[in-house]
Amino acid sequence: MDALTLLRTAAFLHWFVAVGFGVFCFPAIRNLLIGRDIPIVMGFPAYGRGPFERVGIPTTVPLLAAFLLVCILESVAGFLLWGGDRSGAILALVLLPAGGVFWWGFALPIPPILALVWTILIVLGWQTLR
C-alpha cells in the first residue's frame, strides 16, 4: 500500500468514528434538553450508563456537546489527512487523549481499536505528509 492510501484509510476511519458516533449526540442532547432519558441505539444506551456514570459523572448536555466537538474535530482531521496535510495528522494525534476519555467514559468499544489502526497508518505515512 502506498503512503497516500494509508493516509486516506486513516481519514476514512476518522470519518467513520466521527459520523458514526457524533450523529447520535443530537438525539441524546435533544432528549436531555426535554427531560427525557438518553435514547437506546441498537439495544444500547447512547452515551450513558457507562464508566462516567459509575464514577459519578452524569451524562449531561455539556458533556455530550464536548464529545460532539471532538467528533467534529475528528472529521476535520480526516478531511486534512485525505489531502495529505501534516496538520491533519497532528490534529488526529492531539485528539487521541480527549477521544480516549470519551470512548472509555461512554463505554464505546470500537473507536479505540480504530484509533490504534489509524495511528499506525498515520505513522507509516508520516514521511509523505506536507
Rounded distance between C-alpha atoms, residue 102 and residue 62, angstroms: 13
81 touches 10 (CB < 8 A): yes
Give the model's pLDDT for residue 23. Answer: 95
User: To the nearest 5 percent, what fractions of the chain are helix, strand and coil?
Assistant: 70, 5, 25
Strand, helix or coil for residue 107: coil
Does residue 17 register a pLDDT over 90? yes
- Write down the pTM of the prediction: 0.94
Q: Residues near 76 by Cβ (< 8 Å), separated by ≥ 6?
A: 88, 91
CA distances (Å), origin 13, targets 17, 41, 70, 117: 6, 21, 14, 9
Q: What is the dihedral of CA 105, 106, 109, 112, to 10 degrees?
A: -50
Structural domains in the chain (count): 1
Percent of the chain with pLDDT over 70: 100
User: What mean pLDDT is reported for the chain?
Assistant: 96
Give residue-wise pLDDT tens across range 25-72.
999 999 999 999 999 988 888 887 899 999 999 999 999 999 999 999
Residue 84's region, left for phi above 0, alpha for psi from -120 to 50, else beta, is left
CA distances (Å), origin 83, targets 33, 51, 96, 121, 126: 38, 36, 20, 14, 13
Q: Which domain range does residue 88 map to?
A: 3-128
Give the model's pLDDT for residue 60. Answer: 94
